[in-house]
Each structure stands twice: as C-alpha cells, then as structure tokens.
Homo-oligomer: A and B are copies of this chain.
Amino acid sequence: MKLKPMDDRVIVTRLDDSTEKSAGGIIIPDTAKEKPQMGKVVAVGSDAPEGRTPLQELVKAGDTVVFAKYGATEVKADGETYLILSRSDILAVVE
C-alpha cells in the first residue's frame, strides 16, 4: 500500500524525541510558541509551479525535514501513522 501525495503535498512519518536526537542531534525546544517537528519523508507531490524549483528537487523520500505542525493532516495505514503536509509547512531539510 502506498500513498501518492497530490500537487504540493509531502507525506512524512513523525520522528519521536529519541529519534530526533539521533537524527543529526537536533532538539526542538518545548518553549517555542509554534513548536516545529521532525519527520522522515515518505513521498513527495509533483508540484512544479512556474518560476520556482520543482518540489521533488528540494525534498526526496528518506530525507529528514523540520516542519511546522500547523497544517499537518494525520492518516494511519498498515499500522504506521503518516502526516500529509503542504510544501510551505516544510521549513528545512536536515543534511
């Protein structure tokens, strides 16, 4: 079973705190007003608007990303929880 994101959507699995620390040593402080979160990218939409970099050149399956949790929609499949984000929810890619 696979989910193919529409347009500018990106599907990620949330990385829990212990994972977060190992994934490049990043800690999201609890004090942040709109607390961002860490996720691992599962699939990326085909969004490629004129005058901007195609989404799939910026984020790839397997990437670890920092995202704003605001726009996230949660779905469960095969026992795994997925978050469906929009391109603008993704703040940075961890390299």
Taking Cβ atoms with an 8 Å cutoff, the residues of A that contact B are 1-7, 9, 11, 24-29, 31-32, 34, 36, 43, 46-53, 58-59, 66, 68, 73-78, 81, 84, 87-88, 90-95
Contact = CB atoms under 8 A, between A and B. Distances in A.
Number of copies: 7
Given A7-B52, A52-B49, A58-B6, A74 B1 contact: no
Contact of A75 (B11, B28, B90): B28
A74 B33 CA distance: 9
Given A4-B95, A92-B84, A76 B29 contact: yes
A27 B92 contact: no
Contacts of A4: 92-95
